[in-house]
Amino acid sequence: MAASLDPHDLYDVRSLLSDEERMVQDSVARFTDERVLPIIGDCFDRGVFPADLIPEIAGLGLLGSSLPTEYGGGGMNAVSYGLICQELERGDSGIRSFVSVQSSLCMYPIFAYGSEEQKRRFLPDMAAGKVIGCFGLTEPHGGSDPGNMKTHARRDGGDWILNGAKMWITNGGLAHIAIVWAMTDEGIQGFLVERGMKGFETRDIHRKMSLRASVTSELFFDHVRVPDANRLPGVRGLKGPLGCLTQARYGITWGPIGAAIACSSQAIDYARERIIFGKPIAATQAVQLKLADMARRITLAQLLSLQLGRLKDAGRMQPTQVSLAKWNNVRMAIDIAREARDILGGAGITVEYVPIRHALNLESVITYEGTETVHQLVVGREITGINAF
Ligand code: TGC
Ligand code: FAD
C-alpha cells in the first residue's frame, strides 16, 4: 500500500517549497505551537492582544520580512511571507493581522513611498518591534469606497494641518505612528502622524465579537500640525493606499489556510473519537463528506496561494489575481470553520476548541482589506471590462 498522505497537504505542496521556505515555515509553526496556542483562547476570551509576544515576533524576523536587510528587513521572498501569515493565522487571525499591518501596511509604504530619511528613521525600529504602526484608510461613512475620503490636509507654511477621523484601525491604540491617508489639493497623500502630536487621539473599539485578540481603534485628527518631512513624497492618489493593500491582501490569501487547517484538524480528531449511534461520527458518510470537502478546498487554496506567491516573486502578480485568491481563500476558511464548529456539536461553541474563534475572526477577515463583494466585483470588472461599483 502506498504511504499515507498528509491530511493537511494532500498534494505535497510542501515539496514545492525551497529549503529556506520550509525552514521559515517550521520556525513560525514552532512559535505558534509553543507561544500562541497555549494562551490565545484565553486572550480571545478576555479581549486582549498578547503584546508581550511582540519582541519574539520581531526576534524571529517576522516584521518587514520581505524588506531589504539594510533597513532591518528580513530579505525574504513573497512565498516565505505567505508561509509566515499561514502559520501565524493557524494560531489566530489577530496575530497575523498584527504582522500584516506592521509589515505590509506600515513598513511597506515607508519603504516604497518614503524619503531616505524616513526609511532610516523608522524602518529599523519597526522591524525590531520598538515602533508599532497602524494604517488609517477607512472612514466612518464607508470603507469600500476610500476614494470618497473626508479626512483632509491643507498646507500651512512648511507644515500640513490634518483634520478628520478613521475607523476600524488595527493596532491603532498600540501604535507609535499612524500612516494616514488624507485628501489634499494635490490628491490623496500619505502622512506619518506620530503619537503625541497635538490634536491626534485614538480610542479603542470594544464589544467586538471578532478579532478579540487584536486591538481595533478609531483615530481622530483635530487640526494636527504635521511637518512636510512626515509626508510620504513618493506617491499621490488612491493608488498609494491601494498599492499597500495589494501587499497585505496577498498575505491574507495565505493566512486563512492556516485557520482552515487548524479547524479541519480538530474536526478530524473529534470525529474519529466521538461515538454516536454506536460508532464514531467519522464513520458516517455525511461527516466524511464534510471532512473530504474541507481537504479539497484547503488543497485548492494552497495551490492558488503558492502560484500567486511565485508570480509575485517573479514580479508578475496582478491585483485582480490577489482579489480572486483573497475571495476564494477567506470564503474557504470561513465555511470550513463553521462546518468544523458543527461537527464538534455543543463543544464547538466554546473557546476550548478552535473553530468558533476562527469562524468569528474570519467574519472580520472576509470584510477587511476589501469585502468579499468588492473582490468579486474586481474580478467581474477584469473579465467584462465594465466597472460595476
Ligand atoms: P480605481 O479607479 O480602480 O483605482 C484608482 C487607482 O489605483 C490603482 N489601483 C491599484 N493599485 C494597486 N493595487 C490595487 N489593488 C489597485 N487597485 C486600483 C488604479 O490603477 C488607479 O491608478 P491610477 O494611476 O489610474 O490613478 O479605484 P476605484 O475608486 O474604482 O476603487 C476600486 C476599489 C473599490 C476596488 C477600491 O476602492 C477598493 O479596493 N476598495 C476596498 C477598500 C479596502 O480594501 N479597504 C481596506 C482598508 S485597510 C484594512 O482593511 C486593513 S485590515 C488589516 C488587518 O488587520 O490585517
Ligand atoms: P461598507 O463599505 O459600508 O460596506 C457595507 C456592505 O456594502 C458590504 O457588504 C459591502 O460588500 C457592500 N457594498 C459596498 N459597495 C458595494 C457595491 N458597489 N455593490 C455591492 N455591495 C457593496 N481599515 C483600515 O483602514 N485600516 C485597518 O487597519 C483596518 N482594520 C480593520 C480591522 C477590523 C477588525 C475590521 C472589521 C475592519 C478593519 N478595517 C480597517 C476596515 C475595513 O477595511 C472595512 O470595514 C471594509 O473595507 C468595509 O468597509 P465598511 O465597514 O465601511 O463597509
- Give residue-wise pLDDT tens across range 7-34: 999 999 999 999 999 999 999 999 999 9
pLDDT of residue 268: 98
pLDDT of residue 103: 98
The CA-CA-CA angle for residues 293, 86, 214, to 5°, reads: 110
Judged by DSSP in three states, 220 sits in strand
Q: Report the nearest-CA residue for atom 48 of ligand 2.
A: 143
Sequence ranges of the domains in the chain = 13-127, 133-230, 239-384
Strand partners, 294: none
The ligand minimizing its distance to the Cα of 169 is 2
pLDDT confidence of 354, banded at 50, 70, 90?
Answer: very high
* The pLDDT of residue 63 is above 70: yes
The CB of 101 under 6 Å from ligand 1? The reply is: yes
The CB of 243 under 6 Å from ligand 1? The reply is: yes
* Mean pLDDT (whole number) for 250-262: 98
The ligand 2 atom at the shortest distance from the C-alpha of residue 140 is 52
* The pLDDT of residue 142 is above 70: yes
The ligand 2 atom at the shortest distance from the C-alpha of residue 370 is 47
Are the CB atoms for 202 and 171 separated by under 8 Å?
Answer: no
pTM of the model: 0.98
Whether domain 239-384 has CATH 1.20.140.10 = yes
363 as an active site residue: the answer is no
C-alpha neighbours within 13 Å on the C-beta side of residue 184: 23
Catalytic choice (87, 89, 218, 369): 369
The ligand 2 atom at the shortest distance from the C-alpha of residue 142 is 52
Q: Report the nearest-CA residue for atom 51 of ligand 1.
A: 369
Of 219, 242, 250, which is best to mutate to test ligand 1, by the most ligand atoms within 8 angstroms of its C-beta? 242
pLDDT confidence of 112, banded at 50, 70, 90?
Answer: very high
The CB of 104 under 6 Å from ligand 2? The reply is: no
pLDDT of residue 361: 98
* Mean pLDDT (whole number) for 339-364: 98
The CB of 142 under 6 Å from ligand 2? The reply is: yes
* The pLDDT of residue 3 is above 90: no
Pull the grid cell for residue 195. Answer: 503619537
**pLDDT, tens only, 201-217:** 999 999 999 999 999 99
Q: 370: alpha, beta or left, given left = phi > 0 and alpha = psi -120 to 50? A: left
Quote the mean pLDDT of the chain: 97
The CB of 377 under 6 Å from ligand 1? The reply is: no
pLDDT confidence of 52, banded at 50, 70, 90?
Answer: very high
* Mean pLDDT (whole number) for 295-318: 98
pLDDT of residue 228: 98
CATH topology classification for 133-230: Butyryl-CoA Dehydrogenase, subunit A; domain 2 (2.40.110)
Work out the angle between the directed axes of helices 93-100 and 239-273 (0-180°, nearest 10). 160
pLDDT of residue 357: 98
**pLDDT, tens only, 147-185:** 999 999 999 999 999 999 999 999 999 999 999 999 999
Are the CB atoms for 361 and 210 separated by under 8 Å?
Answer: yes
pLDDT confidence of 2, banded at 50, 70, 90?
Answer: low
* Mean pLDDT (whole number) for 38-46: 98
pLDDT confidence of 1, banded at 50, 70, 90?
Answer: low
Whether domain 13-127 has CATH 1.10.540.10 = yes
The proportion of the chain whose per-residue pLDDT surpasses 90, expressed as a percent, equals 99
The ligand 2 atom at the shortest distance from the C-alpha of residue 371 is 11
The ligand minimizing its distance to the Cα of 371 is 2
The CB of 140 under 6 Å from ligand 2? The reply is: no
